[in-house]
Structure 1
Amino acid sequence: MDNASIWLWAASLAPLALLLFLMIGRGWGAAEAGSVGWLVASLIALTVFHLRMEAVGLETVKGVVEAVTIVYIIVSAILIYEVAKEADAFVPFQRGMTRLFAHPLLQVMAIGWVFASFLQGITGFGVPIAVCAPLLVGIGVRPLHAVVIALVGHAWNNTFGTLSAAWIGMKQVTDLSPGEYATTAVQTSLLLWMVNLAGGLTICWLYGRLRGVWEGLPAVLVISLAHGGVTLALSQWDDTLNGFAAGLVGLLVVAALARLPRYRRPSRVTDSPVFAPGTPTTTAPTPAGEPAPAGEPAPDRPAPAREPTPDRTAPASAPAPGTPSGGPTPVAVPPAGAPVPAAAMSLNSAFLPYSTLLVVTGVVLLIGPLKSVLGRPTVDVDFPAVTTGLGFTTPASTSTLALLTHAGTLLLVTAVISYVLYRRAGHLRRRAYRSILSGTVEKAIGPTIAVVTLVAMASVMQGSGQADVLAAKVAAWTSGIYLLLGPYVGVFGTFITGSNLSSNLLFGAFQQTTAQAAGLSTAQVLSAQTTGGALGTMISPSKILLGTTTAGISGQEGQVLRRTLPLTLVMTALVGLPFFLLG
C-alpha cells in the first residue's frame, strides 16, 4: 500500500477514531461526540476528498432529513412512557402480574423477559430496563440480578422493536434491492430467534442453574417459538408491527402457561440465587439478620419506578416496591382534584396504553383500503447526485415520509388517546400534561441530538467516499474471517452509542460497503450487524445506568457489566458462526 493510499485510509478513519476516543477515552455522550465527529468528517470531505462546500451541506441536510423520521419515533415512544408513568400505571401492573403467576420462575420470565420484550417492541430506548428492573425488585429479585435479567430479556427485540426503528434506520443508510431486503429480514429474524432462545435459557440458569433450566425449559421453548415465529413471519410483511406483535403474542402465551399444572406447583429450586433472602417465593429463606451473599447489594431500598408526587401516597394494603414492612403505612386523604391512588387502577387499566396501541396500529395497518388512503399524504425530499474531486459518486435519492402511517404518528395518537382515557378515569391530575411534556422533552433531547449528528456524520462520510475507502481496506485485510467479525462491529456500535439504532446508523453503510468489497453476502453481513447491535444493548452503559438507578443500586454498574459482558461476547460469537461455517 503506497503512502497516498495510507494517507487516504487514515483520513477516512479519523472521524470514527475520534468519535470512539471521545466516548470511551473521555466519557463524552453520543450527542457531544457525534457533533465533533460530523465536524471532522465534513472538514476531511472538504480538504482530502475535495467535496464542494455546497455538497457537504447537501449531505448534511440529507442526514438531518433521514434523522427526522427516526426522532419522530423516539419522541412519541417516550411520550407514551411518560403518560403511563404519570398515571402510576406500573404499580398496579406489578401487583397484577404477581397474582397471575404463581410460579416464581414464571414470574421472573414474565416480567424480565416477556414484558421487557413487549415494552421493547413499543418503546425501547432503555424504557424496558427502567420499568422492568424495579418491577423485578418489587417481587423480591435481588437488584443486581433484576438489572441483568432485564438487560438479557429485552435484547433480542432491539432490531424490530420500537416499531422497527433500528431496522428502519439501517434501511435509511444502506441501499438494498427488494430481494436483498427480503433475504436480510429473514436471516436477521433467524439470528434474533437464536438470541431470544439463549436469553430465555440464561434467565433460567440464573434462577436455578441446571435445575432451573430443566424447570423452565418447556416455557422457554413455547415462548421462544411464539417470539421467533411471529418475528420471522412478519419480517416479510410489515416492519412496523413486527417486534410489537411478537411481544404481544409472548404475553398471551406466558399467561396461558401460568394455567398449566407444571407452573402452578411450587418450584423445586429451594434457594434461588436471584431472590433476596426471606422472599415469600423462596422456600428456604435466609434467617433474619444474615447478610446477603458477597457481591450482592442490599435489596431493602430500591428506587421507586416513578418519582412520587406531592399529592399521592402508597395505600396501606400494598406498599410500594422496596418499602420496608413491619409498620403501618399512613393513609392520606387525597386533596380535591387529585388522581385516584394507583391501587384503584385495574390491571386492564394499567395496560391501557399498550392495548390502545394495538388497536390503533391494527386499524391503520391491517385494514388495506384505510392504509392505502392514509398512506397517500407524503413528504418527499429529492437529493441530486454528488461527485467528489477524487471521483467518488453518490447517486440521486429521494427521502419519503408517509405522515399518517408513520410509526411516530401511531405512537403519538396512542399517547393522546391514553392521556384522555386516563384523565377521564381520574388517574391523571389536572394539567398533568405539563409534567408529561416536560419529562418527554428532557428524555428526548440527548437521543435527538445523537441521532441527528450521527446520521449527518454517516451521510457525509458516505457521500464523500470516506466509507468506501474504509470498507475497501477492511475487506482486503479481513475477508477470510469477516463473517465472524461482523456481529462484533454491531456490538461495538451499540456499546459506544447506547442503541442498536445508532449502531446501525453509524456502521450500516460501512458494513454493506465492506461486504461488497470483500465479495461477501450483503444480507449476511447486515443481518449480523443489526443482531450484534441488539446484543450490544446488554452492555450499553446508558441502559445499565438506567437499570441500576431504577433498581436502587447506583454505582454498581461495573458489577452488572461484569455479568453481562461474557454473555454478550459468547452470544455474538454464536451469531457469526453459522454464516462463517456456511460461507
Structure 2
Amino acid sequence: MHHQILAPVFNSLALSALVAAVPLILLLVLLGIVRMRAHWAALISLAVGFVIAIPVYLLPPVPAFSGALEGAAFGLFPIVWIIVNAIWLNRLITKSGHLDTVRRTFLLLSRDYRVQGLVVAFCFGSLLESMAGFGAPIAVVAAILLALGFSPIRAATVALFADAAGTAFGSVGNPIFALSKATGLPTEGLGEMVGRQSAIVAFFVPFALLLVLDGKRGLKQLWPVALATGLGFSIGQFVASNFIAFQLADLIGALLAGAAAAVLLRLWSPTEVLSPPTDGTEAKPVEETAPEDRRHWLPSFAPYAVLIVLLALVSLKNPVGDWVQSITTQFKWPGAGAIGVSGKPLTLPLFSINWIGATGTILLITGLITLAIQRIKVAEAIREYGRGIVQVYSAALTVMFVMALAYLINYSGQAVTIGTLLAHTGVAFAFLSPILGWLGVAATGSDTSANALFGAVQVAAAKQTHLSPYLTAAANSEAGALGKLISPQNLAVAAAAVGLAGQEGQLVRRTFLWSLIFLAGFCLIVFLMAYGPLSFLVVH
C-alpha cells in the first residue's frame, strides 16, 4: 500500500507543489496556447503525470497504472455514457424536425438572440444542472442554441456558462453531501453557507453572459434582463438553501429566474432586437416571424419535460428514487489504493455503478420515449446512435485521459501537496482558499470530486487560521462552479455537442479569462466574509 509523501522534492513543500502542478499547467498550456487537439494534450499530460508520480512521489507502478485505469473507467461511466446519450437525444429531436419548433417557441419569448442565450443557458441550463450533472446540461443547451442560429463556437461557449451558477449544489445537493462526508460538518450548515456565497456569485453571471454574447452593447441594452434573472436566481438560491432545503436551491433559483425574465419581457423590450451573428459577421436586426402554432409545442418540448421528470424521480427523496439508488454495484478497484498523509486510507478505490439512476441511463430512457412521442423509426434511431458515437469519439478519449490524470495525482499525493501549500499561507488563506476548489474541478470536472479531495484540507487550514470551517469548506464548493468553465471534461462535452470535437482549445481561450475574473472576485468575497463587512453572512 502506497503511503503518500507530502514534500518529496528536497523536502520543500513549495517546490513539491510546483512540480505536482506541472501536469495540470501543461494541459492548459497545450490546450489554450499550443492549440493541440484535446485528447493528445490530455494524453501527453497523463504521461508527464506518470513521470512525476512514480519516480518523484514514489507511487509504485501497479497502483499508478491501476489508479489511472480506474479514472479512465470513471470517465467512461458515467461521464462518456452521459455524453453519448445526450448527443443521441439531441440528434433525435433534430432529425424529427421538432428542434425547429423549439427554436420558434423561444422566439416568442424574445426574438433577440442575447435574451435567448441568457434564458436558455442560465435559466434552463441551471434547471437541468439541479438534477443532472457531469456536463449533461451543457450538451442539451448547446444543441438548443445551435437551433436558435448560434454559430457552433458561440453556442459551445455560452453553454459552458450553464454550469457556472449551479454547480456548487450540483445534482440535488450531491457536492454538499460529499463535502459533509469529507469534513464531518453537518450538511445543513454547509448548504446554508454555500447558498449565501453562491447567491452573490450567481447574481453576476447573467451580466457576464451578456458581455460574452454582445460585449458592452449587450450589457447597455439588456441589463434589465440580467438584473431580473440574476436577482430571481440569487433570491431563490438563498431562500431555498437557508429556509427550505439546499437540495432544491438551484431548482427554485432557476424557476424564479425564468419567471422573472418572462414577466419582464411582457412589460419591456430592448431598443434593438438582433439575430445571432455567424463567425466573422455582425449581429443584424431580426426579421419578423410568423406566430408559432402552439399545437406543436407538446411533442417538441416533451423530451425535455420527460427528462426533467425522470431526473426528479431518481434524484429526489421518494420510493422510486430509493429503489433506483439501491440498484447500485460497488466494488473495490483491484490494484489501486493509498494511505493519505493523515494516515487514513483513501476512499477512491471504491468504484460504484448506478445502473438505472445514472444520468446517462435516464437520457437513454428519455430517448426511447422520444421515439414514440415524435414517431421516429427504430432503424433511424439506431443509425443516429452510431453517428453520435462517431461524433463524440475524440471527446470520449479526452474525458478518459483527463480522469486518468485526475486519479493519478490523487493517488500519488500531488493534489494534497498543492492543497497543503495553500493551507500554510496564514491569514492570506481566507483569500486563497477558493483556489483549491477551482483547481480541483478544473482537473476532475466534478465539484463532488473536488469537495472530497480538498474538503478536509480546507477545514484543517480554517482551524489553524481561526476561520469558520463552514466558510472555507463552502468556498471550495462554490469556487468549483467557476472551475467548470475551463475543465477539459466540460470543454470536451461542449465541443462534441456542436461538432467541434478536438477544437477545445478555441473554447478555453474564450472562457479562461472569465473563469479567472470570477475566481478573483469570489476570493475577495470570501476574504470580506472572513475579515470584512460581509462577516455577518458566515455560518459558525
TM over 0.5: yes
Relative to structure 1, is the Cα distance of residues 9 and 415 closer, same or farther in structure 2, using a 3 angstrom cutoff? same
**Equivalent position of 2:453 in the other structure:** 509
Bigger mean CA deviation after superposition, 432-441 or 375-384: 375-384
- Asked whether the 8 Å contact 1:128–1:154 carries over to 2, the reply is no
1:44-443 aligned within 5 A: 44-56=52-64, 59-60=67-68, 63=71, 70-71=78-79, 72-101=81-110, 107=116, 109-121=118-130, 122=132, 124=135, 126-127=138-139, 130-131=142-143, 133-134=145-146, 137=149, 152=161, 154-161=163-170, 167=175, 171=178, 176-202=182-208, 209=219, 212-214=222-224, 217-218=227-228, 220-226=230-236, 229-230=239-240, 236=246, 238=247, 243=250, 245-246=251-252, 249-250=255-256, 253-254=259-260, 258=262, 260=263, 263-267=265-269, 269-271=270-272, 275=274, 297-299=281-283, 346-366=296-316, 368-382=318-332, 393-395=343-345, 397=347, 399=350, 401=352, 403=354, 406-408=357-359, 411-423=360-372, 425-427=374-376, 430-440=379-389, 442-443=391-392
Q: Any idea what the Cα deviations from partners look like across 1:404-431, whole Å, max 9, x if unmatched? A: 56333xx424433433433453356742
Deviation at 1:21, TM superposition (A): 2.0
Indicate which of 569, 572, 576 corresponds to 2:526: 576
Deviations 1:294-337 (A, max 9, x none): x97334799xxxxxxxxxxxxxx879xxxxxxxxxxxxxxxxxx
**Residue 307 of structure 2 contacts residue 366 of structure 2 at CA under 8 Å; is this kept in 1?**
no
Letter in 2 for 1:17: V
Task: Confirm whether residue 487 of structure 1 aligns to residue 434 of structure 2.
Answer: yes
Call closer, same or farther: CA 1:196–1:85 in 2, change over 3 Å. farther
In structure 2, what is the Cα distance between the partners aligned to 1:215 and 1:536?
25
Structure 1: gaps of 5 or more residues: 280-291, 303-316, 320-341
Report if the CA contact (8 A) 1:538-1:565 is conserved. yes
The answer on 1:528 being equivalent to 2:472 is no
- Which stretch shows the higher mean deviation, 16-25 or 211-220? 211-220
How far is 1:24 from its partner?
Answer: 0.6
In structure 1, how many angstroms separate the alpha carbons of the residues matched to 2:516 and 2:341? Answer: 44
Q: Map 1:7-46 onto structure 2 (within 5 A).
A: 10-11=15-16, 13-25=18-30, 26-28=34-36, 31-42=39-50, 44-46=52-54
Stretch of structure 1 that moved more, 539-548 or 176-185? 539-548
CA change 1:271–1:96 in 2 (3 A) is closer
CA deviation profile, 1:23-56 (whole Å, cap 9, x unmatched): 3154456654554555555555544454545554
Other structure's SS at 1:179 match: coil
Which secondary structure does the structure 1 equivalent of 2:21 belong to? helix
Give the equivalent residue in structure 1 for 2:423.
Answer: 475
In structure 2, relative to structure 1, the CA distance for the partners of 1:349 and 1:424 (3 Å cut) is: closer
Q: Deviations over 1:556-579 (max 9, x none)?
A: 869955984675355434543344
Bigger shift: 365-374 or 450-459?
A: 365-374
- Hey, what's the Cα distance between the residues in 2 that align with 1:55 and 1:75? 29
- TM-score under structure 1 length normalisation: 0.67
* CA drift at 1:16: 2.5
SS in 2 for 1:98: helix
CA distance in 1: counterparts of 2:281 and 2:22, whole angstroms: 37
Residue 86 (structure 1) shift = 3.7
Letter in 1 for 2:192: V
TM-score by length of 2: 0.71
How far did 1:351 drift? 1.8
Code of the aligned partner of 1:435: E
The answer for unaligned runs of 5 or more in structure 2 is: 1-6
**In structure 2, do the counterparts of structure 1 residues 30 and 517 end up closer, same or farther at CA, with 3 Å as the change threshold?**
farther
Q: 1:41 to 1:11 in 2, by over 3 A?
A: farther
Q: 1:490: how far off?
A: 4.2
SS at match of 1:438: helix
Offset of residue 196 of structure 1 = 1.9
Q: Which digits, 9 at most, give the CA deviation of each residue in 1:80-116, with x for residues without a partner?
A: 4444344344321121122245899865643343223
User: 1:506 and 1:446, CA in 2 relative to 1: closer, same or farther beyond 3 A?
Assistant: farther
Q: Percent identical across equivalent pairs?
A: 18
Query: In structure 1, what is the Cα distance between the partners aligned to 2:8 and 2:118?
Result: 56
Q: C-alpha separation between the residues in 1 aligned to 2:373 and 2:230? A: 39
Q: In the TM superposition, what is the alpha-carbon distance from 1:20 to its structure 2 partner?
A: 1.4
Q: Post-superposition shift, 1:472?
A: 3.3
Structure 1 residues 190-199 or 433-442, which shifts more? Answer: 433-442
Q: Residue deviations 1:496-554, cap 9 Å, x none?
A: x5x742x77478625643652563555433432332232244566875995899699x9
Counterpart-to-counterpart distance in 1, 2:158 and 2:341: 50
Instruction: Name 1:335's counterpart in structure 2.
Output: none
Cα shift at 1:146: 7.3
How many residue pairs end up in the alignment?
A: 503
What is the Cα-based RMSD across aligned positions, in Å? 5.1
Structure 1 residues 186 and 204, CA gap change in structure 2 (3 angstroms): same
Structure 2: distance between partners of 1:45 and 1:145 = 38
Structure-2 change in CA distance of 1:402 and 1:373 (3 Å): farther
Aligned-partner Cα distance in 2 for 1:106–1:391: 50
Contact 2:90 2:143 in 1 (8 A): no
1:375 is paired with a residue whose SS is helix
In the TM superposition, residue 7 of structure 1 has moved relative to its aligned partner by: 5.8
CA shift, 1:175, in A, is 5.4
1:118: how far off? 3.1
Q: Quick one: distance in 2 between partners of 1:491 and 1:508?
A: 13
Who is 2:400 aligned against? 449
1:152-176 CA-partner distances (Å, limit 9, x unpaired) = 56521234446778x38x939x951
- Do the aligned partners of residues 85 and 484 (structure 1) sit closer, same or farther apart at CA in structure 2, a change above 3 Å counting? farther
